[in-house]
Homo-oligomer: A and B are copies of this chain.
Amino acid sequence: MSTEDLLRLDLQLCFPLYAASRAMVQAYTPLLAKLGLTYPQYLVMLVLWETDGVTVKELGEKLYLDSGTLTPLLKRLEALGMLRRERSKEDARSVTASLTPQGRALRRKAASVPEAIVCRTGLTLEELARLRRDVLKLFEKLSK
């Protein structure tokens, strides 16, 4: 493959990845709109539904996002009544996000989202699992 070819938009991996990622978020958008959430907000809620009471730092480690993204996002979720933000008593440098009853209750309404997305892709669970594994492998290579 020539350098010329490598510069071709349609032959690169990055652009399809970038386009697919945005298309995926677009697929979630109308579903999440019913819950009053954006996609990044939904990611934060997924973490909290799994492990309530996490710090900004922990959220950042799980989602690969920094405080510049998370702080305003968490403030919006707090304004929506989904969670509370409070300074940790043990370590006053850190801030913990905890679900409100309303935030916890939203989980049931969100339960139908993943299956709807799986259907939307038109792929089998096996195909999805393989693609997920391959993309994750790429991600790990890039993170190093």
Query: Which bucket holds chain A's interface residue count?
Result: 35 or more
Residue of B nearest to A107 (CB): B7
* 8 Å CB interface, A111-144 against B: 111-115, 117-118, 120-123, 125, 128, 130-132, 134-136, 138-139, 141-143
Query: Contact: B135 with A120, CB < 8 Å?
Result: no
* 8 Å CB interface, A1-35 against B: 1, 3, 6-9, 11-28
Binds B, one of A43-51, A71-79, A80-88: A43-51
Partner of A138, one of B20, B107, B113: B20
Binary interface encoding of chain A residues 44-65 relative to chain B, with 1 for a CB under 8 A from any of its CBs, else 0: 0011011000000000001110
Query: Contact: B138 with A123, CB < 8 Å?
Result: yes
Copies of this chain assembled into the complex? 2
Whether a CB of chain B sits under 8 angstroms from the CB of A37 is: no
Query: Contact: B49 with A7, CB < 8 Å?
Result: yes
Determine how close the nearest CB of chain B comes to the CB of A122; give it in whole angstroms. 5
Query: Contact: B16 with A24, CB < 8 Å?
Result: no
Contact partners of A122 in chain B: CB under 8 A: 141
Whether a CB of chain B sits under 8 angstroms from the CB of A110 is: yes
Partner of A132, one of B12, B64, B136: B12
A to B CB contacts below 8 Å, 12 in the list: A3-B115, A6-B111, A7-B46, A15-B43, A15-B63, A16-B132, A16-B135, A19-B139, A23-B64, A121-B141, A131-B135, A134-B134
